[in-house]
Amino acid sequence: MKKERAVITVIGEDHPGIIAAVTSACAELGINIEDLSQTVVQGLLTMTLIVDITGKELRELQRRLERVAEEQRVKIIAQHEDIFRYMHRI
């Protein structure tokens, strides 16, 4: 099966527990995290995670993350990686 990945981006005011909430949501769905990076500039957090969604439903992950976004009061976007590959690579 071809490996499929999604990119999760989290943007919002930094506070304790955001990484924990996002990563536990992934763990609950059995989704492995391959890369994680984050920066906080003047209290604003941007975090990107690259996760393996081979054989999983991206929609299910998106629904789960919508709940996390609401609880943590941040914006979370999960997209299939192809949009980034297409836009920046030939």
Partner 1 sequence: MLDREEILETLRMILVERLDIRTVTLGVSLKDCASSDIDETCERIEEKLLSVGERLVSEAQALEEKYSIPIVNKRVAVTPVANIISPAVRELGEEEAKEAAVRAALALERAAEKLNVDFIGGFSALVEKGFTRGDEALIDAIPQALNSTQRVCSSVNVASTRAGINMDAVLRMGQVVKRASELDYMNCARLVTFANAPGDNPFMAGAFHGEGEGEAALNVGISGPGVVRAVLEKHSEASLGEVAEVIKRTAFKITRVGELIGRELSKRLSVSFGIVDLSLAPTPFPGDSVAKIIEAMGIERCGAPGSVAALALLVDAVKKGGTMATSYVGGLSGAFIPVSEDAGMAEAAREGAVTVDKLLAMTSVCSVGLDMVVLPAKTSASTVAGLIADEAAIGVMNNKTTGVRVLLAGREGERIELGGLLGYAYVMPVSERSCEAFVKRGGRIPSPIHGHRN
Closer residue to partner 1, CB minimum distance, 18 or 65? 65
DSSP H or E run through 46: strand 44-52
A 10 A CB-CB count for 18 gives: 22
**14, 33, 48, 52: which one binds partner 1 (CB under 8 A):** 48
**7, 22, 51, 61: which one binds partner 1 (CB under 8 A):** 7
Query: Least distance to partner 1 from the beta carbon of 13, Å?
Result: 17
Q: List the interface residues with partner 1, window 49-88 (CB under 8 A).
A: 50, 58-59, 62, 77-88
Applying CB under 8 A, does 20 fall inside the site for partner 1?
no
With left for phi above 0 and alpha for psi between -120 and 50, is residue 20 left, alpha or beta?
Answer: alpha
Phi, psi of 79, deg, nearest 5: -130, 150
User: 């609401």: which residue's tokens?
Assistant: 70
The footprint of partner 1 (CB under 8 A) covers 7, 9, 35, 37, 46, 48, 50, 58-59, 62, 77-88, 90
